[in-house]
Amino acid sequence: MATMIVPNSIAFQLSANSLFFLLLIIFCSSCKTTYAFQGTKSKSFHHILHLNSLLQSAACNSSTQGLHHQKSSLQVVHKHGPCSPLHLDRAKTPPTHAETFFQDEGRVRYIQSRLANKSGSKADVKVTDVANLPAKDGRVVGSGNYIVTVGIGTPKKQLSLIFDTGSDITWTQCEPCLGYCYQQRDAKFDPSVSSTYSNVSCNSVQCSSLLSATGYLPLCSLSTCVYSTQYGDSSFSTGFFAKERLTLTPFDVFDNFLFGCGQNNQGLFGGAAGLLGLGRDQLSLPSQTARKYNKIFSYCLPSSSSSIGFLTLGKCRRYGSKSVKFTPLSTSIQDSSFYGLDITGISVGGKRLSISASVFTTAGAIIDSGTVITRLPLDAYAALRSEFRQRMRRYRMGRELSILDTCYDFSKYKSVNIPKISFFFRGGVKLTIPLVGTLYVANVSQVCLAFAANSDASDIAIFGNTQQKTLQVIYDGAGGRVGFGTKGCY
């Protein structure tokens, strides 16, 4: 019997009949189902919010899927909404607002620590106090809010995966779960019944590429490459690194797709079968399918959990449209996974805020599909909050909601005027945030400005998924740019 020594003085034993895998724990994020803002109108520099639109539908409105849906598209649904296949599992309850923001803080701290790169290695990220929130075997939100369904193997096995622009490796839980598997809605993938499955060898170039994609050196088990990946909470996945047939749509099938066949997985993945990595590393989905899609994809996150959005691979119909404005990817972000943005300014109600350019350039910014609330440098957020409060002074303030400190009680109103917030990006791009991306609604007496401040000027800003709702966001990896189009879905 041989003994393998791993970090933190944890020893694992390997025998001829069994394999035990490295247990890795770190942090991730979560999100809460939000309210629909149906029937709202915009006028001048304000949105008009009708309070009866805050009622959340309990049924899936399948007619709300993206206006630009095409053959190379997948449906995007909120993990806890009525459109999600995971919604059918009544044993899993959605997270509370407190859990949402607690988990979101975990992801933000993980990303900011990783991008700070103080030690020169992603693997040296420190554990934060979010670790005190116990894992619930996948019953709470994991490293993203939104899922897509793809096919893996031959015959094809349909699996619901979280998609994440801040992760690279795609993985799913696999039988026989030699370590541990959390509870998921779909039946776990069984590689033994697939005719196209094969393990990647330890001495292959593909195995060596895991370091840049995950931040961790691959392990080796009986000549088979073993991957390990961690997220911004107590979530992790470890297992065999393998090749398999990936079916995205009937028109988009890829053989020898590199993915993780998870044998030891724990964490907050909300019942999803795993994760679809949309980052920029060579092991991500956009990179592995670059010959067909040229590293181009787009998505639209629906306005509410009862609506449907889309994820499109390759050029979408609006790709060359004048209605889509592109900004160059930031060159200040050195991490190979994230998509960097250069923010140049913010306006509220048509007024450009007086914020020094150095406030945004000190740490830079990224766009992330897995972070719920946009995080801004302290000085930028202070200016935004001050101007927003000034323009909302006629309305009664409500109780703060966790990290959200600017909330209102609209219980006595039928409609209210909300000042429009616009972001400016390098290249002269102006993006007006939709109303659904401006506010986070706990209830009618606690409607909050959906932005938060970083604690340190050196912390990177993050453009989160709440602010991306209903926008068509286009990632052009080959062209080195990100585009924004309005009214991508509802």
Residue from 364, 338, 341 nearest 424 by CA: 341
Residue 324 clears pLDDT 90, i.e. is over it:
yes
Burial of 449 (C-beta count, 10 Å sphere; 0-12/13-18/19+): buried
Residue 22 has pLDDT above 60, yes or no: no
Pairing of strands 2-6, 429-432: unpaired
- Contact 372/30 with Cβ under 8 angstroms? yes
Residue among 405, 426, 415 at smallest CA distance from 49: 415
pLDDT-derived band at 161, boundaries 50, 70, 90: very high
Reduce the DSSP state of residue 375 to 3 states and report it: strand
**DSSP bridge partners of 144:** 142
Domain coordinates in residue numbering, the chain: 62-115+141-485
User: How confident is the model over 360-373, as a mean pLDDT?
Assistant: 94
Q: Looking at 188-202, 218-232, 452-466, 472-486, which range is the least confident one?
A: 218-232
Q: What percentage of the chain carries pLDDT values higher than 70?
A: 81
CA atoms of 256 and 245, how far apart (whole Å) = 6
| Rounded Cα–Cα distance for residues 145 and 30 (Å) | 7
Q: Please, are residues 303 and 189 in contact by the beta-carbon 8 Å criterion?
A: no
Q: How many CB atoms lie within 10 A of CB 210?
A: 26
How far are the Cα atoms of 1, 11, 22, 227, 316 from residue 221, in angstroms, in the given order? 13, 14, 11, 10, 42
pLDDT of residue 232: 64
Residue 398 · residue 446 · CB < 8 Å: yes
Residue-wise pLDDT for 209-266, tens only, equals: 999 999 899 999 999 999 999 876 668 899 999 999 999 999 899 999 999 999 999 8
Q: How do 365-367 and 461-463 pair as beta strands? A: parallel
In this predicted structure, the answer to whether residue 141 has a pLDDT above a threshold of 80 is no
pLDDT band at 78 (very low <50, low <70, confident <90, very high): confident
Q: Which of 426-447 are b and which e, b meaning 16 or more Cβ less than 10 Å from the residue's Cβ?
A: eeebebbbbbbbbbbbbebebb
Q: What is the pLDDT of residue 336?
A: 76
Coil vs helix vs strand at 46? strand
Task: State the Cα–Cα distance between residues 480 and 5, nearest whole angstrom.
Answer: 42
- What's the confidence (pLDDT) of residue 89? 56
Beta strands in 363-438 (DSSP E): 365-367, 374-376, 407-408, 415-419, 421-425, 429-432
Task: Report the pLDDT value the prediction gives residue 117, as an integer from 0 to 100.
Answer: 58
Cα–Cα distance, 185 to 149 (Å, whole number): 12
Catalytic annotation, residues: 164, 368
3-state helix, strand, coil in the chain (%, to 5): 15, 35, 50
Peptide bond into 176 cis (omega under 30): yes
pLDDT digits (tens, 9 = 90+) for 192-211: 999 999 999 999 999 999 99
Please name every residue paired with 305 in a beta bridge, in sequence order, or none if there are none. Answer: none
Which residue has better confidence, 37 or 128? 37
Q: C-alpha angle with apex 277: 128 to 82, nearest 5 degrees?
A: 85
pLDDT the model gives residue 403:
96
Model pLDDT for residues 398-419, shown as the tens digit of each residue = 999 999 999 999 999 999 999 9
Residue 268 near residue 255, CB atoms below 8 Å: no
Closest listed residue to residue 347, CA positions, set 288, 422, 277: 422
Would you say residue 268 has pLDDT above 60? Answer: yes
What dotted CATH number matches 62-115+141-485?
2.40.70.10
CB 86 within 8 A of CB 92: yes
Give Cα separations from 85 to 79, 140, 186 (angstroms). Answer: 8, 15, 9
Give pLDDT, residue 373: 96
